[in-house]
Amino acid sequence: MSGTNFTLIMEFILLGFSDLPNLQGFLFGVFLVTYMSILTGNGLIIVITKVDPALQTPMYFFLGNFSFVEICYTSVTLPRMLMNLLTQNRNISVVACAVQLCFFLILVIAECLLLAVMAYDRYVVICKPLYYPLIMNYKMCVQLVIGAWITGIPVAVGQTYRVFFLPFCGSNKLNHVFCDMPPVVKLTCGDTFASQFSVYADAALFALIPLLLILGSYVKIIKTILKLPSTTGRYKLFSTCSSHFMVVILFFGSGFIVYFRPKSNNSEGLDKVFSLFYTIVTPMFNPMIYTLRNKDIIGALRKLTLK
């Protein structure tokens, strides 16, 4: 492409919240407390789902794995954000950016698929209770979790290679809080249509399809619950599913706004805000959502603290 200023960029500058110079210390404190709460809350869920005999069921097996994904998922982005805020050094090498993006994509896909698996588990236990022990046996649960983890690896590696194989031109300033796909693609030159199309195609495949499966499961769950004669039984089952559905709305809602919202020159600030929802807010509220509405987990926490 004649006339295009291709440059060999060796590092990016993550602008993050550089437009708020007077709030750097405050933001560092907020994100540090948030990260500690994410590690503590999700770590507690992992521990109690492993050690409490009453929680040795598929639902809590998936919840423990989901909490582990949340910890890994947050640890890919938040420590770097904290370092940038503390040192004011926002430089990140192209290799480090590619590694961060690759792991981020792997964990995003794993989270989407695990949320779909958890919805399927609720569907089986409510709509097919007699077959539940047969369908959701230990082997099946392990296979579903492993599948959620490894499915995204080739996709993430391929997407990362495709994007970073393109030349970068002009500015090396990445107007985001971490190396996410849309802002990185925006800095590339040449024929970016194929890369942009593959980004949205994979987002549709690994986010939209799991979301549709989740919604389909809940449609069948709600139909089954409404047929129950007991009001108490209906309330109990709705309460069991509501925590998971709240996490789904938080995670998928903010993710779809970032990836599928019409872009404009003034949308980068909003993208940063909404990206914090699915990278920080959901992992932070996940333990609270599941704990406050779950008597089994509250009981397990009490037993753990009294030991």
Average pLDDT, the chain: 83
Strand partners, 14: 174
Coil, strand or helix at 202? helix
Q: How many CB atoms lie within 10 A of CB 140?
A: 14
Structural domains of the chain, with CATH = 7-306 (1.20.1070.10)
The pTM of the full predicted model, rounded to 2 decimals, is 0.88
Q: How many CB atoms lie within 10 A of CB 288?
A: 12
pLDDT (tens digit, 9 = 90+) per residue, 195-209?
677 777 777 788 888
Range scoring the smallest mean pLDDT among 15-19, 142-146, 267-271: 267-271
Range scoring the smallest mean pLDDT among 28-42, 73-87, 106-120, 181-195: 181-195
Parallel, antiparallel or unpaired: strands 6-7 and 168-169: antiparallel
* pLDDT at 149 > cutoff 70: yes
- Angle, nearest 10°, between helix axes 282-292 and 58-87? 140
- Angle, nearest 10°, between helix axes 58-87 and 24-51? 160
